[in-house]
Amino acid sequence: MTQFLQSTLAAWSLKDPQEVAQTPRGVVYRVTRPDGSPAALKLANQEIDTGEANAPDWLRWHDGQGAVRLLAEAPGALLLEWFEGPPLSKLCHEGRDAEASAILADCARRLWANQNEFTGQAQPLAAYVNGLLSAAPAAFAKDIRRDIEAAQALCRALLDTSPTPRILHGDLHHDNIALSARGWLAFDPKVVRGDPHFEFANCLRNPIGTPLLRDPERPVRMAEIIATRCGLDAERLLAWGFVQCALSLTWASLPSGVSEEGHRLLRLFRPFAQRQ
106 is catalytic: no
Q: How many whole angstroms separate alpha carbon 31 and alpha carbon 14?
A: 6
Point out the catalytic residue in the list 171, 175, 188, 195.
Answer: 171
Note the CATH architecture for domain 3-81.
2-Layer Sandwich (3.30)
Q: What is the pLDDT of residues 147-203, one digit of tens each?
A: 999 999 999 999 999 999 999 999 999 999 999 999 999 999 999 999 999 999 999
Tally the C-alpha atoms within 13 A of residue 107's C-alpha that lie toward its C-beta.
30
For residue 275, pLDDT beyond 80: no
How is the chain split into domains, by residue range?
Answer: 3-81, 89-273
Nearest CA among 19, 149, 180, 171 for reference residue 86: 180
Identical fold, 3-81 and 89-273: no
Q: Which residues share a beta bridge with 192?
A: 123, 168
Mean pLDDT, range 226-236, rounded to an integer: 98
- Model confidence, pTM: 0.93
**Average pLDDT value for residue range 70-93:** 95
Nearest one of 63, 246, 236, 32 to 149, comparing CA atoms: 246
Q: Which CATH number is associated with domain 89-273?
A: 3.90.1200.10
